[in-house]
Structure formats: structure tokens, C-alpha cells
Amino acid sequence: EMISPLPDAISHAMVDLFTSLTQQNRAVLLANQALDASRVEIERHNHNLESMVQERTLQLERLAEDLRQARDAAEAGSRAKSRFLGAMSHELRTPMNAIMGFSRLLRDRGLPPAEQDLARRIVEASEHLLEVINGVVDFARLENDQISLHETVFSPALLLAEAGQRAFAAARLKGLGSRIE
């Protein structure tokens, strides 16, 4: 009724079972060792990445601070330049008005023709210089937001003619021709 295995068969089965379990334990042990090595490698890699991110973040923060300082210095320089232009233009305008006034008085005095021509040239040159100074004043005001630009319709040909009027007159006096094309 009951069959009893032979002692040799039981012994072989036990050895096979022990061998199989030992191999499985070794495989699990090797897998755990590989997993531990992978974890150590991942932790080392994560630490390196964190260090790189922290270093790059510090570099970017320093760069951002340098850029803020450069921007602030540029803005301060621009404000100083605008103040200088405004002050210098006003300082130039005052004596220029005196030169214009005295040269007009001289021109209108009934001088001989040669001196009359010289006085006329002084008046024209001082008027031109005053226009340049006024342009610098307007530029300084524009930069300081004291005036604003507005759209206007204009004729480019007329603008060029006005801009070249003095140069063309000087060219004619020297016997040169000039024209706008």
C-alpha cells in the first residue's frame, strides 16, 4: 500500500534539492550584489549631477549679478551723458545768442560791402550753430523723456533741399555746381 522510496533515491533527491536551492541562493546573492553596486553607482552619479547643478546655478547667479551691475552702470552713464548734453547745450546757447545779437547789430550798421559780407556770414554761421545746439538740447530732452516724438507728414525732397541749402550756397560761392537727384 504505501510505497517507500529507496534511501538512495531520497538521498539523491535531497542533494538535487540542496544544489538547486544553493544555486538559486547564489543567483539571488549575485543579483543583490549587482543591485547594490548599481545603487552605489546611481547615488554617486546623482551626487555628481547635484554638484554640477549647484556649480552651474552659482555661475548663472554670478552672471546675472554681473549683468545687473552692467545694466545699472550703463543706465547711470546714459543719465550722466544726458545731463551733460543738456547742461553743455544750455551753456553754449547763452554765448551763442550774444554772438548772434552782436553780429546782427554789426551787420545792420551800414558797413562797407566787404565788412557787411563778413558780418552776414557771421550771422549765418551763428544761426546754423544755434540750430545744431538746439538739436543737441532736443536730443537730451528726448533721452530724458522731457519731450516725445510725434508722427508728421513731410516731403523728403523738401527736407533734403533744406538740409543741403547751406552746403549748396557755399558750393555756388566757390563756383561749384550741386543738385539733389
pLDDT one-digit tens code per residue, 83-95: 787 788 778 888 8
Cβ 103 vs Cβ 119: under 8 Å:
yes
Per-residue pLDDT, 33: 92
Check the CA dihedral 75-76-79-82 and report its sign: negative
Cβ 93 vs Cβ 127: under 8 Å:
no
Distance CA 84, CA 133 (A): 13
Per-residue pLDDT, 2: 67
Per-residue pLDDT, 88: 81
Per-residue pLDDT, 167: 80
Per-residue pLDDT, 95: 87
For the chain, the 3-state helix, strand and coil shares in percent, each to the nearest 5, are 85, 0, 15
Per-residue pLDDT, 1: 56
- pLDDT tens track for 130-167: 888 888 878 777 777 767 777 888 888 888 888 788 78
- Residues in the chain with pLDDT values less than 70: 1-3, 5, 146
Q: Is the full-model pTM beyond 0.75? A: no
Distance CA 12, CA 17 (A): 8
Cβ 130 vs Cβ 93: under 8 Å:
yes
Alpha carbon distances (Å) from 21 to 6, 26, 36, 174: 22, 9, 22, 116
